[in-house]
Amino acid sequence: MDSEIAVDFSPVLKIYKSGRIERLMGETTVPPSSDPQNGVVSKDVVHSPDTNLSVRIYLPEKALAADSKLPLLVYIHGGGFIIETAFSPTYHNFLTAAVSASDCVAVSVDYRRAPEHPISVPFDDSWTALKWVFTHIAGSGQEDWLNKYADFSKVILSGDSAGANIVHHMAMRAAKEKLSPDLNDTGISGIILVHPYFWSKTPIDEKDVKDETLRMKVEAFWMMASPNSKDGSDDPLLNVVKSESVDLSGLGCGKVLVMVAEKDALVRQGWGYAAKLEKSGWKGEVEVVESEGEDHVFHLVKPTCEKALEAMYKFSGFFKGDK
């Protein structure tokens, strides 16, 4: 029967023996708004008709009356590769606030989700969206807002959790494959990794999570997204930090901000990523900012709390060159 449960990952999702997937969170969507919200307007644009994939573009309303170009943020949402969308209230509200604080144009990327579309589909869809964004570099792309208002000399990629993982891999790939024939470099100025979802079968240091039940749960979530992964959570797509086979020296940007939360199970992975990057021979600048007393993606759950506002200040400062 369709009611028989094969995998129960409440409160996130349930998978039934029939193959049906019931997502228990992250399914609500909100429309874009031509009426300013926090001084920001937004619209949805289909960029890949074959897969029916869209992006949501955000713009400070005041930019419509100005001639100047603004930094460009490309944001990739989190959710373990399995839940959430670019159009949920959570991400719509976050991007609206981020654009208002950072005075930038933003493109929020949606991708087909696992387990129906297992890894590497979320990575491939994100790359396709990123390449579409860069079709506007000469001012002759599909979308006027990007042609008119995006400064392609100041492109920042960011994402949280699984989205931060994808962002890392996009910056690595951009160093090997050109996003546009009009580029002389990767085209990416910097990346902001918010509570990045990296993991490994064993702890990366003495402060890392040692609870086997929790470690197995994180691995089980990865295996749901990537059922064909022969190495489990030591897959190099996930084990970016501890794996000796993963070389970060070719990261395709000049500056990195890693944001972590003290009580997050992933906190040591974020610190480890920055340390590995510094030792790799990569020539850029990396900074880590830790939110004390907070847990994974707390800033999305309670965006008006003091620590979330501090995190947004650091996030927006990255666009302005603040340290």
Active site residues: 161
β-sheet bridge partners, residue 54 = 46
- Assess contact for 286 and 308: CB atoms under 8 A: no
Alpha carbons 206 and 193: distance in angstroms, whole number? 23
Alpha carbons 83 and 225: distance in angstroms, whole number? 10
Amino acid type, 217 = K
- Assess contact for 168 and 240: CB atoms under 8 A: yes
Q: What is the CB neighbour count within 10 angstroms for residue 110?
A: 25
For residue 235, which of 218, 252, 250 has the smallest C-alpha distance?
218
User: Which tokens go with 114?
Assistant: 């696992």
User: Which tokens go with 268?
Assistant: 């040591």
Strand ranges in the chain using DSSP code E only, listed in sequence order: 5-9, 13-16, 21-23, 40-48, 53-60, 70-76, 105-109, 150-160, 190-194, 255-261, 285-291
